[in-house]
């Protein structure tokens, strides 16, 4: 009887492993293989020419700028929001928690449309923005705003559970011994949250680099001005320039792999120290 149960357990084990491997091959390995082979189909020189094209470089620079801006803003916001929600009691706490989750539940395209309504020509803010010489829709500021919007929950959502789990005992003890707020955070709180903090930053970076929907609505698809790498890939593909499209896509794949390695290292180090 025990031998039969063990045999059934082994069968279920290998069946689940087989399904998982098959799923990963179809959904991940095969697409990555296609991207690499198609990108190099016309040779290395053509590949280098495609990824060093003027518009590709400008799209890459804009992608990096939007990503850096989003990561900086959301790191500051995420840390402040997580600290407020876990260390203070105030009215509207549940509302703030709900608002943080909005970018996860709202389609990025809807977010882009919202920003057009808020800052576009039909908005009451438009004349004031025009007088101040500020252009948001179909301009770089709109790209940055959209990227910030779709990525701002990541850091806070990684920090909140950790801050809740460590409690406030150590911080209160340090305060009773005369330690100042910044010293308490640097010496006591941050060592506990540093890996969750870094993990949230990595997730935020990955999401920002791959954002398409909200950015597509707000960009106006101005080549060399408001096109990020995902938008540049779409334009090349729609123009039937398949090999250059896959070549540019490979840049995103390389960046994604680098971030995946960093994420794995951070996750491993975090688990090792807990």
Instruction: For residue range 211-234, list pLDDT tens digits in order.
Output: 888 898 888 888 888 899 999 999
Give the per-residue SS3 of the chain: CHHHHHHHHHHHHHHHHHHHHHHHHHHHHHHHHHHHHHHCCCCHHHHHHHHCCHHHHHHHHHHHHHHHHHHHHHHHHHHHHHHHHHHCCCCCHHHHHHHHCHHHHCCHHHHHHHHHHHHCCCCCCHHHHHHCCCCCCCCHHHHHHHHHHHHCHHHHHHHHHHHHHHCCHHHHHHHHCCCCHHHHHHHHHHHHHHHHHHHHHHHHHHHHHHCCHHHHHHHCCCCCCCCCHHHHHHHHHHCCCHHHHHHHHHHHHHHHHHHHHHHHHHHHHHHHHC
CATH code that applies to domain 43-273 = 1.10.3720.10
Residue 97: which pLDDT band, with cuts at 50, 70 and 90?
confident
At 5 the pLDDT is 64
At 181 the pLDDT is 76
Does the structure show a pLDDT above 90 at 1?
no
Reported pTM: 0.87
């Amino acid at each position: 009887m025990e031998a039969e149960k063990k045999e059934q357990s082994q069968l279920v084990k290998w069946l689940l492993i087989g399904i998982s491997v098959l799923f990963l091959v179809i959904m991940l390995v095969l697409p990555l293989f296609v991207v690499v082979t198609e990108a190099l189909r016309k040779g290395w020189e053509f590949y280098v020419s495609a990824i060093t094209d003027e518009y590709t470089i400008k799209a890459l620079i804009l992608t990096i700028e939007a990503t850096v801006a989003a990561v900086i803003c959301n790191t500051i916001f995420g840390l402040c929001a997580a600290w407020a929600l876990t260390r203070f009691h105030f009215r509207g706490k549940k509302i703030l928690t709900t608002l943080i989750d909005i970018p996860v539940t709202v389609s990025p395209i809807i977010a882009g449309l919202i920003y057009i309504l808020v800052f576009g020509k039909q908005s009451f803010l438009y004349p004031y923005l025009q007088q101040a010489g500020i252009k948001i829709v179909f301009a770089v500021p709109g790209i940055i705003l959209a990227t910030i919007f779709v990525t701002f929950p990541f850091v806070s959502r990684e920090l909140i559970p950790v801050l809740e789990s460590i409690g406030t005992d150590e911080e209160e003890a340090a305060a009773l011994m005369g330690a100042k707020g910044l010293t308490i955070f640097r010496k006591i709180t941050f060592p506990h949250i540093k890996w969750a903090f870094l993990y949230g930053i990595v997730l935020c970076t990955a999401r920002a680099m791959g954002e398409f929907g909200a950015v597509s609505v707000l960009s106006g698809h101005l080549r060399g001005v408001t096109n990020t790498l995902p938008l540049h890939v779409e334009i090349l593909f729609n123009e039937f320039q398949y090999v250059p499209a896959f070549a540019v896509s490979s840049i995103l794949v390389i960046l994604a792999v680098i971030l995946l390695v960093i994420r794995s290292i951070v996750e491993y180090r975090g688990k090792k120290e807990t």
